[in-house]
Structures are given as structure tokens and as C-alpha cells.
Amino acid sequence: MKYFLCLSTVLFSITTFATINLENAKQSGEINFLAIGKPAMIRIKGKAPAPVTKAIIENNKMSVESNLVLKDLDTGIGLRDEHMKDNFLQVKEYPTALLKIENITLPDGFETKPTTIKNQAFQGKLTLHGKEQIITGIFSLNESLELVAKFSIKLTDFGIEIPSYLGVNVADTVAIDTNFTLSRKDN
């Protein structure tokens, strides 16, 4: 009987603390940004395919790493995109943006039966333009592992010059949101 109890405890521990590897599904989602001008008559919207994202769930904690290829950003105006990528983001020198988030607390049992998480705060480290900064935002994740996240960045925090043309400047703060679906990664 003791042997059975011990074996049951070990098996329960293994299944309770199993590591789950996730990644965003191919062709899933996008990332969007919005920069508002000063004066506010200009609104620059852009998008790109969702960042390549890997997540690990272990012990009711999730860690996430998202890597966005900056050359994929598109505002719908070719010349503006060229200036954004060459003059401001300098994508030849800094081709990606990397966001790392660690230790997001998940509800008990999420590993075996995902539940909806709404508007949970997160903090992570964003590396952009060769500089790393702490960012904060909110995310939601449903039982189908569809993820939505929102945060803002200040361009000057990353050493990015504020774009300006004929007296119209882009605001320092850029709003970013992303959505995509995570799926279990085959090992």
C-alpha cells in the first residue's frame, strides 16, 4: 500500500508540473501600432504579421519570448515605410524587436484545462534599436489559447529619433497591440 501511495504521489507530481511548450500558429494573427502626430491631425497606423512567439508553461507560470522582424512593418505608404525603417528604426543594424516576459501567474490547472484570462497585467523586457527597457501592458488569453496583448512604448526610451516633417511631429508614445493563437509545439 505504501508503494502504491508513493507511486501515485510521484505520478501526480509529474503530471502537475509538466512543462508545456507553445508557439504561435503559422499564419496566425498580427501586430499593430498607432503613432499620433503633434498636432493630432495625423494618425500613422501600421501592422506586421504576428511576431514569432514561444511560450513555456510550467508550475502555473508562463514565460514568453516574442521576436518581431521589423522589415515586415507596413503603414500602407511605401515612402513612409522606407523612411521609418531606414532613418528611424535602422532595421539593417537592428533587424528585430525582442520581448521577453517571465513568470506570468496562471490560474490553477491551466496546464490541463486552459481557462480564460482577461486583462491581466504583465511586465517584460523589450529590446528595440539596441536598447532594452522594461515595459508594462495587459493581455488576455482564452481557452483556445488566442492571445491579445496591448502596451505602449516611448520612442526616445529606445534612442529612436522622433519623426518630423514640415512642423508635424510624431508623438513620442506609440501604442502597440497584437493578437495570435498559440498551439502546442511538437517536441
Q: Are 29 and 50 in contact (CB under 8 A)?
A: yes
For the ranges 28-37, 80-89, 114-123, 161-170, the lowest mean pLDDT is seen at 161-170
**pLDDT number for residue 163:** 82
Query: Residue 164: which H helix or E strand, with range?
Result: strand 164-165
Encode pLDDT of 120-159 as tens digits. 999 999 999 999 999 999 999 999 999 999 999 999 999 9
CATH number of 19-184: 2.40.128.110
**pLDDT confidence tier of residue 179, bands split at 50, 70 and 90:** very high
pLDDT at residue 187, as a whole number: 55
- Which residue has better confidence, 92 or 39? 92
Residues of the chain above pLDDT 70, percent: 87
Instruction: Show me where the domains of the chain are located.
Output: 19-184
pLDDT recorded at residue 184: 85
Would you call 150 helix, strand, or coil by DSSP?
strand
pLDDT for res 31: 96
- Provide the mean pLDDT of the chain: 87
Which amino acid would we find at residue 169?
Answer: N
* SS3 state at 30: strand
Q: pLDDT tens across 69-93, in order?
A: 999 999 999 999 999 999 999 999 9
Q: Are 150 and 135 in contact (CB under 8 A)?
A: no
